[in-house]
Amino acid sequence: MATPMLRWCCPGRRWIFAGIGGGSRHGRGVPTGSTSSGKKGQSSVAQQPLITAQKPRKGEREWAAVVGLEIHAQIASNSKLFSGSQVDFAAPPNSLVSFFDASLPGTLPVLNRRCVEAAVMTGLALDCHINRKSLFDRKHYFYADLPAGYQITQQRLPIAVNGSLAYSVCVGKRWSQMVTRTVGVKQIQLEQDSGKSLHDNLRSQTLIDLNRAGVGLLEVVLEPDMSCGEEAAAAVRELQLILQALGTSQANMAEGQLRVDANISVHHPGEPLGVRTEVKNLNSARFLAKAIDYEIQRQISELENGGKILNETRSFDYKLGCTVPMRDKEGKQDYRFMPEPNLPPLLLYDSGSLPTGADPQQVIDIDQLRERLPELPRVTREKLVRQYGMLPEHSFALLNEVGLLEFFQNVIKETRAEPKKVTSWVLNTFLGFLKQQNLAVSESPVTPSALAELLDLLDRKAISSSAAKQVFEELWRSKGKTPAQMVAEKKLELMQDAEALEQLCRSMLEAHPQVVTDVKKGNPRAINKLIGLVRRATLGRADPTVIKEVLERQLSS
């Protein structure tokens, strides 16, 4: 799409279509069957990109986009959903395949308890109603990576329904303007993952790896309450954090543990919903929002040009940055859903309904699981804000990086510096260095203790903040020395002799009467020259803010 289009998605959730390329309508006349009316004189207006989404220009109609998501999360369990083979991402091909996974005739599914617990915990974390009885079904289609010719899923009565997921998005330009949105969780169901096919076009063959066949998946269906790529990405991100906090899925998109399909349609507000397309297998956090936004724009342009949206399945081409129809999923599939006869209904209990004398190995108590639920990200963030007085967006940033929160908390434990200082150093300096060198927190050369010690020095005013930054950089580069040692070596200690500083400032003022006059005339910034000079005279060992304070005090007296 040639024309850059600026839009805010969050405030009014409105899209204003600003025209594609140079002259989509120009010179074409009004297309027949166009949904827009009275557009004849609009071509010149259409050229200008719109900056605000709030007020549509006269005659132009708004578009609203509707986005729903189906998210598949691989359950973190030792063995697969219905068989005892191991779950491991990097194992040699076809080395983790049991007889059942290979669909050998006569083999039967046996439900994995851990997977059921994972589903219940996730349902509880998303405020779902847990169905005390849920059922398993077969979904049939022929594909090489589906050995049995059907997938076992929960179509009729899934394990959890009617929940909600709260997430935060930025409104406005500044990161600090965050609002909380909610998306409904339609249901959570247990189902099998398929194997992997690798298409070898050179030799016209497809290689099948069944290691993944039968791995347990949680399918989380989010209602079409979202309206743009950013909201969808934020919702997915929050779900990822929840799953990771619960331990029910590692939810790593790069390893295929979290896969997202989006259902997207557009319509004019007040009118019925448009035809939706499904964009499948969005496997990258980075491209999730892009792909969804692309599809929204594509649909809008299509409709604006008088075309129709086909109810089809598309995939996102990462290289081209656009969605393309998926050839082998054309036409509607009849999955011939059928109850899975080899699995009786899944019955769950709570402490009130547990049958007496029940073997605890054989039953699942929802209340027990609820008690054992770990702290959810939302609660962790609220606690951080309350306990340390940090801004909400800082709490988000701390949870957004693996291991960062723990690092932060370890520093807090060992330092006397104010939490706000610690927050600032961890999120700005520390994180900055990590990102620059593309390191994970676990790979950091600076330990929490080292940073804590450094912050203590700063807190005691033993060093200036610029000296501290220097030390930090040094810590990052070379190991083995403590901050105190570095300070001593580089003679970075702040001047502690207040009297000497007063003396120095006084003499500096005396030596530069012109500056004194300038300041007194009303140019306070002239003092900076003096500050610089005093600093140099102290060999950088005086804190500029202190110097400024002394000079100003002396000037005013």
Binding site for other proteins (CB under 8 A): 99, 102-111, 138, 140, 142-144, 147-150, 204-206, 208, 336, 338, 341-344, 362
Q: How many CB atoms lie within 10 A of CB 142?
A: 7
Task: Report in angstroms how near the CB of residue 341 gets to other proteins at its nearest.
Answer: 4
Q: Which is nearer to other proteins, 359 or 499 (CB)?
A: 359
Task: Report in angstroms how near the CB of residue 138 gets to other proteins at its nearest.
Answer: 6
Q: Which is nearer to other proteins, 98 or 444 (CB)?
A: 98
Q: How many CB atoms lie within 10 A of CB 406?
A: 13
Task: Report in angstroms how near the CB of residue 149 gets to other proteins at its nearest.
Answer: 3
Residues 6+ away with beta carbon under 8 Å from 487: 457, 462, 463, 467, 471, 493
Q: Which is nearer to other proteins, 106 or 480 (CB)?
A: 106
Task: Report in angstroms how near the CB of residue 348 gets to other proteins at its nearest.
Answer: 16
Q: Which is nearer to other proteins, 144 or 273 (CB)?
A: 144
Sign of CA dihedral 308, 314, 318, 319: negative
Task: Report in angstroms how near the CB of residue 1 gets to other proteins at its nearest.
Answer: 36
Using DSSP's 3-state secondary structure scheme, residue 411 falls into helix
Residues forming beta bridges with residue 168, ordered by sequence position: 180
Q: Which is nearer to other proteins, 142 or 416 (CB)?
A: 142
Q: Nearest 5°: phi and psi at 284?
A: -130, 130
Q: Which is nearer to other proteins, 109 or 163 (CB)?
A: 109
Q: Which is nearer to other proteins, 359 or 510 (CB)?
A: 359
Q: Which is nearer to other proteins, 213 or 282 (CB)?
A: 213
8 A C-beta contact, residue 144 and residue 183: no
Task: Report in angstroms how near the CB of residue 368 gets to other proteins at its nearest.
Answer: 21
The 10 Å CB-count burial string (b at 16+, else e) for 501-518 is beebbeebbeeeeebbeb
Task: Report in angstroms how near the CB of residue 79 gets to other proteins at its nearest.
Answer: 14
The beta-carbon contacts of 515-523 under 8 Å, at least 24 apart in sequence, are 516/555, 519/555, 520/555
For β-strands 160-170 and 178-192, DSSP reports them as antiparallel
8 A C-beta contact, residue 152 and residue 343: yes
Q: Nearest 5°: phi and psi at 370?
A: -65, -40
Task: Report in angstroms how near the CB of residue 205 gets to other proteins at its nearest.
Answer: 8
Residues 6+ away with beta carbon under 8 Å from 289: 228, 229, 230, 232, 233
Helices then strands, each counted (H, E), the chain: 17, 17
Task: Report in angstroms how near the CB of residue 102 gets to other proteins at its nearest.
Answer: 5
Tokens (6 digits) for 475: 């810590």
Q: Which is nearer to other proteins, 11 or 84 (CB)?
A: 84
Burial class (CB in 10 A: 0-12, 13-18, 19+), 394: buried
